[in-house]
Amino acid sequence: MSDSPDAIFFSKRISLVTAIQAITGALSIIVFLSSRSEQGSGFLFGYSLPRLLIAFTAFVIVLGLLGITFSEIKQIPGWLRLKQNLQVLFLNPWRVFILFALLFTFFLCIVAVLILAISPASKELVILQTILNNMGLLLIWFDFIVLGIFYLILIYLRITHRLKSILSPLQLAILFAIFTVIYFLTAKFYAKITWDLRMRNLEDFIFLPVLLFLSWGLLEQFFKEKTWSSVARRVLFLLAIGVVTYTIYRHTSQWMAWTNTPSKAYWHELAEAFMQGRLFLTNPDSQHDLTFFNGNWYVPNPPLPAFIIMPLVAIYGAAKTNTVLFSITIGAINAILVYLILEKASNLEMIPTKKSANLLITALFVFGTSHMWLAIMGRMWFISQLLTLTFAALALLFVLKRFSPWWIGLCLGLAVMSRPNIFTLWPLLAGIAFYFMYQTSGKVEWGNWFKWSFQSAVPVCLGVAGLLFYNFIRFGNIFDFGYVSINSSDWMMEAVQTYGMFNIHFLATNFNMMFLRIPQVSLTEGCLYYSATRDGVSVLSMTPALIYVVRRLKFNLWTIGAWISTFLTIILLLLYSNNGAWQLGYRYLMDFILPLLLLLAIGIGNRKSAIFVTLVVISIVSFFLGTIWWFNMWWC
């Protein structure tokens, strides 16, 4: 390909990259030699021997880069023969990959050293500060050289049509394994040097994605043609969504030093109480947001979470049941369910998005909404919201799969037994079911519609009846959930006792919280302040990607149902006595996130735009920054 346009393009890229690297290298050497070595360590011209050797090595590299630049521009025959010999080596994909992996490892090791050098570890290990001060720019230059080599290799593989041979699934999995190992060693080294206990048990879960991706790579490399490979590929893909979510959530909780069951978790204690024949808690670790009645403390919230966590309590006991891990696991399950919903809706051509867009929407849900923060917290209210979402998502998935309305109603009824206002999802479920019926028959069959409505509503009504009975056996009144006499903030109790649980009085405050309030970001004396209070901020200020919900409005039976569910939920929340309080973002978004995600997919369309991708990234960054702020505000 010596005279082809691709060869000319590749030659120009080589000369450009090496020239830039040589110039930046020369500048790095000048900076490196701008300060003398410590007094007494000088070997020549006031520089120590190690410094001179490093400078000499860097100088030789600069000369080599300049030589390549000159040879490429002038097309020196000797260089061209050497380049041809190197191209022969690239005919073997695994040779190229080994080179790629070695360079990748070298690159990551330098990044790890630089990160440690700017971290608190440098205060304990002074040599890290010395490396940063004396060699920081040179190390960055070395990594810049590696990036240039990566760039040239990828260009060569692309123009020779061998890119896929070097970046097979197995090879990508190996690169990810290298990254994980270096990250693990860096985190452990940091923890040991700084006496940081947060990284304890990191090895218990950090390699789970590695094992999963290596299994996927081996499947693609050696068993792709097997009859069972498609099923295995499907299972591994869905597991990957859950495992990656679980690992990132759990590791984030580690960095935030929030790994043990916190106060006000309650569900493990209530599960133990149920197992012992009690409806109330004895000696709870806190009384906040509990209801005191007839000398006992009750959890006012609907009881479903206690039943779900009960098997863990039966095995480990309440004291050893970790509600944070339980909550994170539920969050990972929710991630899988959301993707399955989007995938099924795509397959049915209800939404125009494909696999990559559905994964992006799932990532937005998992990392760019309050869902991440809820999963990490592991407290009573937040676990209730997560489990509500779990069973609501199951109901939505079941209706997409055309399951019996009894099963759909059962899932929604269970969701109601965790958070009653989720009944507003029913119009979406009904809209989808009626949409399918109309597609099948081409006409309105009122008998079938009424039959579906009745059958799906019965389990929900039974769930409501169960809650009313639960109220009666606790407080002697079927309509008393315990919220009016809850042991909570004075301002909240005064509002509830004056205006009730739902009142137009709360409209202005809730509207401001839901749609208008924005974060207040400032960096003062090294401390990140992300908001004036912990009361939360508006939906779009934290998750701006949701603006695409109104980009393309499409009306049919199921979208009308989605909008009805959304508006009903919003109306209830606007009139509710509690605006979410004590939250990152707006946590009540989870009550109507499912219809929003489907409508969002319509707004995205066939192709996801760069603007939408940017908004997703902003949403994710907002919640990661917000999480750091939340857990570090007091001692920052």
Are 278 and 161 contained in the same domain? no
pLDDT value for 635: 41
Return d(Cα 18, Cα 15) in angstroms, integer: 5
Are 274 and 162 contained in the same domain? no
- Segments of 135-290 assigned E as strands: none
For the chain, residues with pLDDT lower than 50 are 634-636
CA 535 to chain centre: 22
Return d(Cα 33, Cα 50) in angstroms, integer: 12
Residue 2 phi/psi, 5° resolution?
A: -65, -35
Are 131 and 278 contained in the same domain? no
Does residue 615 sit within a domain?
yes
Are 324 and 442 contained in the same domain? yes
Are 490 and 600 contained in the same domain? yes
Return d(Cα 543, Cα 370) in angstroms, integer: 9
Are 144 and 286 contained in the same domain? no
Does residue 52 sit within a domain?
yes
Are 458 and 602 contained in the same domain? yes
Are 465 and 588 contained in the same domain? yes
Query: 112 to each of 49, 108, 143, 251, 444, how far by Cα in Å?
Result: 26, 6, 11, 18, 64
Q: What is the DSSP letter of 4?
A: S
Concatenated DSSP letters of 257-325? T--S--TT--HHHHHHHHHTT-SSBSS-S--TT-EEETTEEE--S-SHHHHHHHHHHHHH-GGG--HHH
421-470 pLDDT tens trace:
999 999 999 999 999 999 988 887 889 999 999 999 999 999 999 999 99
Q: Angle, nearest 10°, between helix axes 323-347 and 229-255?
A: 140
Q: Which residues contact 460 (CB under 8 A, 6 or more apart)?
A: 409, 412, 413, 416, 423, 426
Token pair for 142: 């070395």
Q: What is the DSSP letter of 512?
A: I
Concatenated DSSP letters of 357-410? HHHHHHHHHHHSSTHHHHHHH--HHHHHHHHHHHHHHHHHHHHHTT--HHHHHH
Domain boundary among the residues 147, 167, 187 is at 167
Q: Which domain holds residue 39?
A: 5-167
Are 149 and 271 contained in the same domain? no
Return d(Cα 42, Cα 90) in angstroms, integer: 45
Torsion of CA 192, 193, 197, 202, to 10 degrees: -50
137 near 32, Cβ under 8 Å? yes
531-588 pLDDT tens trace:
656 788 999 999 999 999 999 889 999 999 999 999 999 999 999 988 888 899 999 9
End-to-end CA distance of the chain: 59
pLDDT value for 634: 43
The answer to whether the Cα torsion of 209, 210, 213, 215 is positive or negative is negative
Domain boundary among the residues 137, 167, 197 is at 167
Return d(Cα 426, Cα 44) in angstroms, integer: 81
Q: What is the DSSP letter of 37?
A: P
Number of domains, the chain: 2
Token pair for 417: 């037994």
pLDDT value for 636: 45
Q: Which residues contact 66 (CB under 8 A, 6 or more apart)?
A: 18, 19, 22
Does residue 455 sit within a domain?
yes
- In 3D space, the residue among 503, 501, 423, 413 whose CA is nearest the CA of residue 463 turns out to be 413
Are 601 and 478 contained in the same domain? yes
Domain boundary among the residues 128, 151, 167 is at 167
Does residue 183 sit within a domain?
no
307 near 271, Cβ under 8 Å? yes
Q: What is the DSSP letter of 223?
A: S
Q: Which residues pair with 527 in a beta bridge?
A: 524
Are 286 and 143 contained in the same domain? no
Does residue 195 sit within a domain?
no
Return d(Cα 321, Cα 304) in angstroms, integer: 17
Instruction: Looking at 445-489, list the stretches that DSSP marks H as alpha helix, in order from N- to C-terminal side.
Output: 446-475
Return d(Cα 483, Cα 474) in angstroms, integer: 13
Q: How many CB atoms lie within 10 A of CB 196?
A: 16
Are 154 and 292 contained in the same domain? no
> How many residues belong to the chain?
636
Single-letter amino acid code for the residue at 138:
L
Helix (H, G, I), strand (E, B) or coil at 522: strand
Q: Which helix (H) or strand (E) holds 79?
A: helix 77-89
